[in-house]
Amino acid sequence: MKRFAEISRKTRETDITVKLNVDGTGIAKLDYPVGFMSHMLNTFARHGLFDIDISAKGDLEVDQHHLVEDTGIVLGQCFAKALGEKRGIRRGGSCLFPMDECLARAAVDISGRPFLFFDGQLSGAPLLSSSQGLNVSNPANYEFQKDVVEDFWLAFTNAAGCNLHLEIIRGRSDHHKIEALFKAAARALRAACEIDERVKNSIPSTKGLLPGFDSPGVLV
């Protein structure tokens, strides 16, 4: 069965469409106006072997928060929809990922119960990033707002219904820290989404699906 989802979300602040193939080869097609975040989404696809197609625009004249957070929501919704009842998945995954001087750790449980622990160890130093269509006379528009990284993953976990722990063990460069976190998260999710052939027709829970929920795949 092909595990694919396409979801669009349009509000007064953002307009986002995401297509996801969980069983892809790591191809990313991105029409995304925040350069650094586009780089992270491409990295996420490549290391998770997820095919993603994202078209997004938003009120960047306000800041980057709305667009990045809503992207996390839609991408998380796509994972929840594509995985459905989660039959046969391994459910849990983890990754310890080094990137030069940086070491990141990710652990995920696709349980249907959202929770995020995030410790990015990010500094207050600016991280420059191009944002299309913004006023070049204001250099602040070209700084990536590093606090939105946690916003993205919080939105993702709530929408996907997963328990995700992300932390930096050591590191100096904020670029490396964020990128290592995306790589570790992608590889942990890739492992958790994989089908275990020994139990491919089973719900990965001792108690099965949690009754009384409209969304499929909510486990006990």
The predicted-structure confidence for 174-207, as pLDDT tens digits, reads as follows 999 999 999 999 999 999 999 999 988 888 877 6
**Which span out of 95-109, 133-147, 204-218 was modeled with the highest average pLDDT?**
95-109
Longest dimension (CA), the chain: 59
Q: What confidence tens digit (pLDDT) does each residue in 87-97 have? A: 999 999 999 99
Give the domains, in start order, of the chain with CATH numbers: 4-197 (3.30.230.40)
Contacts of 56 (CB under 8 A, 6+ apart): 14, 15, 16, 17, 31, 32, 33, 67, 70, 71
